[in-house]
C-alpha cells in the first residue's frame, strides 16, 4: 500500500495556514531547506504540484486547494478522535458541513440553518462561505452535505447535484433620509439618475434588478458594487445610494438603520435553493432545513421581534 506521510501533510497544511515556507519554518522550528524538502517529498508522493510561484510567492495549485481542504478535515477528525478518547465529547457526534454563497445575508442563513441544530441530531454546523463554483466542487467531492444558493447553476447537472427550492422573498428598495428627500416624483420614476449601491453583475439578484430597471427605462448612477449583503446595507444606510433589501429582512434593516423604504421591485424575487447530491433528501438534518425553510421566510422577522 502506498502510505501517505502525515507528517509531510501536516507540514504542508502549516505552510498553507502561515502563507509561505519561511513563516511555516519558524512556526515548526525547522530550517527552510528541511521544510522545502518535506514539501517536495509530498508532491512526489502525490505526483502533482501543490504550489506554484506567482510574483515571487507560493500560490496553491487547483490540486493544492483540494489537498488543503482534505488536510483540514483529516487533522480536525484527528483532534475529535483524541477528544473522544479523553471523554471530552461523545463518540458519534454529527457534524453538518454547509456551503453558503458569500453574498447571502448572514441573518437569513442563520434562520435557514436553525432547524438543523434544533432537534435534528446535529451537534455542530460547519459553515463555509465561498464563490459558487468552489462550493459546487466541494459538494460533489463529498466535503459538504449541502449548499445554500440563490440559483441552480448549469454545472450542477453534470456534477449530479440536485436543486431543491426552499423559499423566496420580495425585494424592497431603501435609502437614507437625505437621499429619499432628494428623489422627485412617484416611485419608481423617482429613481431616474439616483445613486445606487448594488450587488455585482455576477450575482443573480443584480441581473434581476438590472432587468427591472431596463423594463422601466430607468437609468441610475451605480456608485458601488458590493457582494456582501451586510456591507452593501452599510454603504446604503450611510447615504451612498439606494440599496436593495430582502423583504424577509425588512424588520432588521428598519430597526438597525435610519433609512426609508422607497418601494417594492414588483416582479423581482430572490429565490433560495438547497443543493444536494441527493435527489430525494434522506439526511435528517438536511430534511429539517428544507422543511423549516418551506414553512416561510417570514420567520426571520418573527425572530427579530422576539428579541425586543
Domain ranges within the chain, ordered by starting residue: 6-83, 99-167+272-306, 169-271
| pLDDT value at residue 224 | 96
**127-136-92-81 Cα dihedral, nearest 10 degrees:** -80
Looking at every residue in the chain, the average pLDDT score rounds to 86
Tell the CATH superfamily of the 99-167+272-306 domain: Periplasmic binding protein-like II (3.40.190.10)
pLDDT tens-place string over residues 174-219: 999 999 999 999 999 999 999 999 999 988 899 999 999 999 999 9
Among 2-11, 79-88, 266-275, the least confident range? 79-88
Query: 72-98: buried (b, 16+ CB within 10 Å) or exposed (e) per residue?
Result: eeeeeeeebeeeeeeeeeeeeeeebbb
Which of 25-34, 66-75, 77-86, 171-180 comes out lowest in average pLDDT?
77-86
Burial of 148 (C-beta count, 10 Å sphere; 0-12/13-18/19+): buried
Q: How many angstroms separate the CA atoms of 168 and 108, rounded?
A: 11
Asked if 6-83 and 169-271 have one fold, the answer is no
Which is higher by pLDDT, 86 or 6?
6
Alpha-carbon distance of 215 to 178, in angstroms, equals 27
Taking only the tens place, the pLDDT of each residue in 226-262 is 998 889 999 999 999 999 999 988 888 888 778 999 9
| pTM as predicted | 0.63
- Which CATH code of 1.10.760.10, 1.10.275.10, 1.10.8.50, 1.10.10.10 fits the domain covering 6-83? 1.10.10.10
pLDDT confidence of residue 125:
83
Q: What is the pLDDT of residue 304?
A: 46
Distance CA 20, CA 141 (A): 27
Instruction: Report which listed range, 56-60, 102-106, 161-165, is most confident.
Output: 161-165
> What nine digits make up the cell of 224?
458601488
Q: pLDDT category, 124, cuts 50, 70, 90?
A: confident
Residue 281 scores a pLDDT above 60: yes
Fold of 169-271: D-Maltodextrin-Binding Protein; domain 2 (3.40.190)
Q: How many C-beta atoms lie closer than 10 Å to residue 306's C-beta?
A: 7
> What share of the chain has pLDDT > 90, as a percent?
44
Amino acid at each position: 500500500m502506498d502510505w501517505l506521510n502525515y507528517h509531510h501533510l501536516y507540514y504542508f497544511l502549516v505552510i498553507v495556514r502561515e502563507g509561505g515556507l519561511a513563516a511555516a519554518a519558524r512556526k515548526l522550528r525547522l530550517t527552510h531547506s528541511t521544510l522545502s524538502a518535506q514539501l517536495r517529498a509530498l508532491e512526489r508522493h502525490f505526483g502533482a504540484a501543490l504550489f506554484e510561484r506567482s510574483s515571487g510567492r507560493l500560490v496553491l495549485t487547483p490540486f493544492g486547494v483540494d489537498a488543503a481542504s482534505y488536510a483540514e478535515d483529516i487533522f480536525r477528525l484527528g483532534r475529535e478522535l483524541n477528544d473522544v478518547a479523553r471523554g471530552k465529547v461523545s463518540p458519534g457526534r454529527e457534524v453538518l458541513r454547509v456551503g453558503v454563497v458569500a453574498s447571502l445575508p448572514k441573518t437569513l442563513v442563520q434562520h435557514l440553518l436553525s432547524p438543523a441544530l434544533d432537534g435534528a441530531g446535529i451537534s455542530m454546523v460547519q459553515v463555509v462561505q465561498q464563490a459558487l463554483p468552489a462550493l459546487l466542487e466541494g459538494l460533489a467531492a463529498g466535503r459538504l452535505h449541502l449548499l445554500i444558493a440563490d440559483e441552480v447553476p448549469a454545472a450542477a447537472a453534470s456534477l449530479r447535484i440536485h436543486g431543491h427550492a426552499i423559499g423566496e422573498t420580495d425585494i424592497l428598495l431603501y435609502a437614507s433620509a437625505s437621499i429619499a428627500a432628494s428623489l422627485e416624483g412617484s416611485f419608481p420614476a423617482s429613481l431616474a439618475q439616483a445613486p445606487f449601491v448594488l450587488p455585482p453583475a455576477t450575482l443573480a439578484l443584480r441581473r434581476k434588478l438590472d432587468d427591472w430597471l431596463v423594463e422601466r427605462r430607468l437609468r441610475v448612477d451605480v456608485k458601488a458594487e458590493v457582494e456582501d449583503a451586510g456591507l452593501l446595507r452599510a454603504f446604503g444606510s450611510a447615504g451612498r445610494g439606494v440599496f436593495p433589501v430582502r423583504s424577509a429582512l425588512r424588520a432588521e434593516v428598519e430597526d438597525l438603520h435610519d433609512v426609508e423604504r422607497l418601494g417594492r421591485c414588483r416582479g423581482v424575487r430572490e429565490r433560495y435553493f438547497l443543493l444536494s447530491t441527493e435527489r430525494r433528501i434522506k439526511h435528517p438534518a438536511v430534511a429539517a432545513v428544507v422543511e423549516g425553510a418551506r414553512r416561510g421566510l417570514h420567520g426571520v422577522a418573527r425572530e427579530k421581534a422576539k428579541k425586543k
